[in-house]
A and B are shown apart, each in its own frame.
Chain A
Amino acid sequence: MDAIERDVRRFITENFILNGEVIDGAGSLTRNGVLDSMGVLELIMFIEERFGVKVPDEDTVPENLDSVDLIVRYVRVRLGEARV
């Protein structure tokens, strides 16, 4: 697990998980009830503040933000560390 994934997991666990369960990296965060629309706004704020990248409106789609794996991939792409 690299630093980006560790930070994303910690943010979600600390803010949205009550019972200490481990998040499945590929599981949908919205369909599993972890994130609601408010949670997505908070996630965007976290990404922008923690990693210093702007999340434009057109990027706020499930393909970028609906699982830990997708968020990590999105942040890496935005940081220029990976390509889609």
Chain B
Amino acid sequence: MSEVARVGFEVLRLADPTEVVESIVTEMRRVVKGFRRRGGVLGLSGGIDSTVVAALAARAFGPEHVLGVLMPEAESSPDTLRLSRLAAEATGIHTVLEDITPTLEALGCYRRRDEAFRKVLPDYAAGWKAKLVLPSVVDSDAFRLFSVVALDPEGREHRARLTADAYREVVAATNFKQRTRKMLEYHHADRLNYAVLGTPNRLEYDQGFFVKNGDGSADVKPIAHLYKSQVYQVAEVLGVPDEIRTRPPTTDTYAMPQSQEEFYFSVPYDHMDLCLHAVDRPLPPEAIAEALDLAPVQVERVFADIAAKRRMARYLHAPPVALEAMETIALAESE
């Protein structure tokens, strides 16, 4: 059998990040102009993705035509607001602060979620903090089933596997956060005649790491084709502040700090990038195993997880389905 050519992280290196920036900026202008909108609105989280999109939008439309909406809630990380402001300062865009806690309370977001937690952790109560976690995919073939990990006010950790019902109720309740934020982004977009800019990177977009009609909704998604490690390369060219570029990716959805690996992806983002690249080329697990410091059988498990998430993401990506084609609408869309 012939030796498999090995591939490393260098395959994700952009040949010319500046050219990539220019190309994205040109496309953003074209798309937004096509919608007859004059600028862009985006939710600023203080993370790398939203800061990069803010910087790209500032170049595309001028910073005075970009609005960053800061939307913290009761369980946001203390860093979120400060880093979001730092992102706005660095890119020169305008901001508006919308505390979404009262809206989430009115919708029953926290209450509904806590009731679901209590189905598997009956003692869960006010003052507890919790998050959802997944077991590692590389360590074993076991099914990856969500557990809730909670800290009581005395600092004791409690853990329980979620039932299907409890899991769905927790997710449905916390999805209010992303959907409330998107509703506010569209409010400001309507008010200013701007387009809503989505901030998913390729990993999130491909693997369905978004809420349908929440952070998955936007008029244009400028970095959805860039691997996460490429977003960092672009961030460097755009002068994104170091503190934002070195902040570990977080979901900032649950009261306990939660990494994206615990919640969704099976390995760190740069490893996920390389795995996704290998799946798409396609390359065999042996080609990237050494770069990832994993055995081929472990890479195989990540590949299987990628395929499973793609199947799950089909529904998330699907637009509303009209049961019969309407030629007049198709004509208008092509104009």
Of the candidate stretches B85-93, B148-156, B160-168, B249-257, the one touching chain A is B160-168
Contacts A45-B165, A57-B161: A40 and B308 contacting too (C-beta < 8 A)?
no
Residue of A nearest to B171 (CB): A38
Tally A-B pairs: CB < 8 A.
46
Output the least CB separation between A45 and chain B (Å). Answer: 5
Distance of A31 Cα from B163 Cα, bound (Å): 22
- Could you say which of A4-12, A17-25, A58-66, A74-82 contacts chain B? A58-66
Q: Please report the total number of B residues contacting A with Cβ < 8 Å.
A: 18
B143 and A65 contacting across the interface, CB-CB below 8 Å: yes
* Chain B residues engaging chain A, CB cutoff 8 angstroms: 140-146, 161-165, 167-168, 304, 308, 311-312
* A31 CA to B167 CA, complexed, in Å: 22
CB <8 Å contact, B143 and A60: yes
Which residues of A are found within 8 Å of B142, using beta-carbon distances? 60-62
Q: Tell whether A30 is near chain B: CB-to-CB under 8 Å.
A: yes
Min distance, Cβ A34 to any Cβ of chain B, angstroms: 10
Whole-angstrom distance between the Cβ of A62 and the nearest chain B Cβ: 6
The verdict on A53 contacting chain B, using a C-beta distance below 8 Å, is no
Instruction: Please measure, in the bound complex, the distance between the C-alpha atom of A63 and the C-alpha atom of B141, giving whole angstroms.
Output: 9
B141 touches A37 (CB 8 A): no
Asked if B141 and A62 sit within 8 Å, CB to CB, the answer is yes
Residues of B within 8 A of A33 (CB): 311
| Residues of chain B within 8 A of A63, CB atoms compared | 141
Which A residues are closer than 8 A to B by beta carbons? 30-31, 33, 36-38, 40-42, 44-45, 57, 60-63, 65
Closest to A63 in B: B141
- Contact across chains for A45 and B143 when beta carbons are under 8 A apart: no
- A-B pairs, top 8 by smallest CB distance, nearest first, are A41-B164, A42-B164, A61-B142, A40-B143, A60-B143, A45-B164, A36-B312, A45-B163
B306 to chain A, nearest CB (A): 13
Specify which chain A residues have a CB less than 8 angstroms from the CB of B143 in the assembled complex. Answer: 30, 37, 40, 60-62, 65
Known interface pairs A41-B163, A42-B164, A45-B163. Does A60 touch B145 (Cβ–Cβ under 8 Å)? yes
- Selected A-B contacts with CB under 8 Å, 19 pairs: A30-B143, A33-B311, A36-B311, A37-B143, A37-B145, A38-B167, A38-B312, A40-B145, A41-B145, A41-B164, A45-B164, A57-B145, A57-B161, A60-B142, A60-B145, A61-B140, A61-B141, A61-B143, A62-B142
Q: How far is the CA of A62 from the CA of B143 in the complex (A)?
A: 7
Within the assembled complex, what's the spacing in Å between the Cα atoms of A44 and B144? 13
Cβ–Cβ < 8 Å partners of A37 in chain B: 143-146, 308, 312
- Chain B CB within 10 Å — which of A37, A44, A65 has the most? A37
Question: How near does chain A come to B169, taking the closest CB pair, in angstroms?
Answer: 12
